[in-house]
Chains A and B, each alone.
Chain A
Amino acid sequence: MGKQLITLTVNGDEYELAVASHHTLLDVLRNQIGLTGTKRGCTAGSCGVCTVNGERGEAILSCLSLAVEWDGRSVTTIEGIRQGGELHPVQQAFLEYGAVQCGFCTPGVVMSAKALLDVTTSPSEDQINEALAGAICRCTGHIKIKKAVRAAAAVMRDNEARDDG
């Protein structure tokens, strides 16, 4: 039951880590790398505060992923989504729309929304609901969260149009 050496890329930085088999990706991000933006909540897959993005940009529950299974893979956390020193459009929109109450769920909700908007910047209402259903705001601020996600989508659409034009 010794430790195993893994190589993990987090937000573009490569780490070589000795991890215990029973430690999750969440444990390693927070306790070994020191990136505490990703939160520990229910630890059972019901709340989504531990959400990070995997290689394909998909929303991953880091509390239900064994760190040893991430050897040679890469992950993006809330600390790694700024673009050129500026907040990511989702982060900016959460600020502008006050989509934060206590803030505990925010990293997980932002990473869940980013996973959706990286696939489509014109999400339907159903798609937004589906993407956020696994990320619970304990203060029940989902209306502002959804407004912020729609606003972020609009900004990202504009950015795409500008880049294309």
Chain B
Amino acid sequence: MQLPRFEYVRAASLDEGLAALAKHGADAKIMSGGSDLLVNMKMRLDTPRVLISLGGIAELQDIEELPDGVLRIGAGCRLTDVIAHPGVSARFPALRDAVAAVGSRHVRNIGTLGGNLCLETRCWYTNQSEDWRKARDGCFKTDREACHVIKTASRCHAINSSDTAPALIALDASVVLAGPAGRRTVKVLDFYRDDGVQHTILAPDELLVAILVPDDGRRAVFAKLAQRVGLDYAAGSFAASLRGPADAPEAVRLVLNAVGAAPKALTESERLLMASGLTDEAIEAAALGARQSLGEVTNLFTPSGFKRRLVKALIRDALVTLRDQTA
């Protein structure tokens, strides 16, 4: 597959990037590493007139440990560099595990953390060759008000497969967004919208600049199941964090991804574990509750029944690991 033609703009600074975005607006796409975007462009899922590359912006490629314990990761940091950073491995092993679960080593040498958070949603109907799509009706992602995966759907259910998103949400991380009016900081959970077409709150004139990971004493785990371990999108991914003793938690956060258009916070199951601690019974109930709370599960990449069973097993095993690490 060859790339479609486009005008290439390389931003040397954040201001240049924002200016280029303001100028080209809806005609432009932002490229960080390109491992997701270029594939989508080759498949003609994206045909921007202008490609704005952020690869030359040094400010986006720093990892800093701030005095208040916050780890600040530039959005343009290669996934490989995030894994190699001593502060990430020592203080946030669940984040390291989640980053290491993305793609293959080859992909992680190109892809960036900001890029993985913005990863385009995917679905078996649309993520096909141009010829395949031409032979069929369009959908919410292209040119029709229809979903061919869930026929009754009134919106796009394409799946969010970011591995780093659930880990960062479990760690209560935030993202810093820069736009013409200045910067805003939002929790990673609030960065996402439950809509496969417009799956983040990033405005057309905004850039994702940095990820802030606070160190508030949480311990966390990340787990992923994929058909091909070494290089694949998740069939299900899950992250959990715990502050305080496992039998009397001060805070619990459970996040599931690759089941819908947005990462899903399992608030009911969190409450259950807060109330009774991470006992075997409570873990079982929390995993079952999560499975039951899934609602519409799309038949995407794996059968929905398999996905429901997978979710329960993934959550139960990860929570047992988290509890045993804590004990």
Q: Is B246 an interface residue (CB 8 A)?
A: no
Q: How far is the CA of A69 from the CA of B104 in the complex (A)?
A: 21
Q: Which chain A residues lie closer than 8 Å to B106 at the CB level?
A: 45, 48, 51, 59-61, 112, 134-135
Which residues 94-132 of B sit at the A interface, judged by CB distance below 8 A? Answer: 103-107, 109-110
Q: CA of A73 to CA of B93 in the docked complex: distance in angstroms?
A: 33
Partner of B230, one of A22, A23, A51, A134: A134
Could you tell me how many residues of chain B have their Cβ less than 8 Å away from some Cβ of chain A?
Answer: 29
- B53 contacts which chain A residues (CB < 8 A)? 66, 69
> Is B1 located at the chain interface by the 8 A CB criterion?
yes
Are the CB atoms of A130 and B105 closer together than 8 Å?
yes
Q: What is the minimal beta-carbon distance from A114 to any residue of chain B, in angstroms?
A: 13
Contact (A134, B103) CB under 8 Å given A4-B8, A65-B110: yes
* B69 in the interface (beta carbon within 8 A): no
Which A residues between 65 and 99 are near B, CB-CB below 8 angstroms? 65-66, 68-69
B4-20 interface with A by 8 A CB criterion:
4-8, 10
Give the complex CA separation of A106 and B103 in angstroms. 21
Whether A60 pairs with B2 at a CB distance below 8 angstroms is: no
Assess the B104–A133 pair: CB atoms within 8 A: yes
| A60 with B110, Cβ < 8 A, contacts A21-B5, A65-B34, A134-B104 known | yes
The answer to whether A45 touches B109, judged by C-beta atoms less than 8 angstroms apart, is no
Give A54 to B80 CA distance when docked, in angstroms: 13
One of A22, A58, A134 near B3 (C-beta < 8 A) = A22
Minimum CB–CB distance for B163 against chain A, Å: 15
Q: Given A21-B6, A66-B53 in contact, is the A133-B105 Cβ separation under 8 Å? A: yes
- Give the contact-size bracket for chain A: 20 to 34
In the complex, the answer to whether B1 meets A21 with C-beta atoms within 8 Å is no
Across the interface, B1 reaches (CB within 8 A) one of A23, A44, A54, A58, namely A44
Taking CB atoms, residues of chain B closer than 8 Å to A4 are: 8
A135 and B103 alpha carbons, distance in the complex (Å): 12
Is residue A46 contacting chain B, with contact meaning CB distance below 8 A?
A: yes
Given the interface pairs A43-B42, A64-B110, A69-B53, the reply to whether A131 lies near B105 with Cβ below 8 Å is yes
B35:A45 contact, CB within 8 angstroms:
yes
A64 touches B105 (CB 8 A): no
A63 nearest CB across to chain B (Å): 8
Q: Is the CB of B5 within 8 A of A22?
A: yes
Complex Cα–Cα for A1 and B104 (A): 32
Most chain-A CB neighbours within 10 Å: which of B6, B34, B42, B104? B104
Q: Is B51 an interface residue (CB 8 A)?
A: yes
A38 within 8 A of B: no
Contacts of B43 in A (CB 8 A): 44
Tell me if A22 and B104 are in contact (CB < 8 A): no
Contact yes or no, A45 B107, CB < 8 A = yes
**Chain B residues, Cβ within 8 Å of A20:** 5
* Cβ contact within 8 Å between B80 and A45: no
- Chain B residues with Cβ below 8 Å from A21 are 5-8, 51
**A-contacting residues, B35-58, CB 8 Å:** 35, 38-39, 42-43, 51, 53, 55
Residue A120 at the chain B interface, CB threshold 8 Å: no
| A129 at interface, CB cutoff 8 A | yes
Supplied contacts A45-B39, A134-B230, A135-B104, 4 more A-B pairs, CB within 8 Å: A1-B5, A43-B42, A64-B34, A66-B8
Q: Which 4 residue pairs are nearest across A and B when measured between Cβ atoms?
A: A133-B230, A134-B104, A21-B8, A134-B106
11 contacts between A and B (CB under 8 A): A21-B7, A21-B8, A22-B4, A43-B1, A44-B43, A45-B107, A46-B231, A59-B109, A64-B38, A66-B53, A69-B10
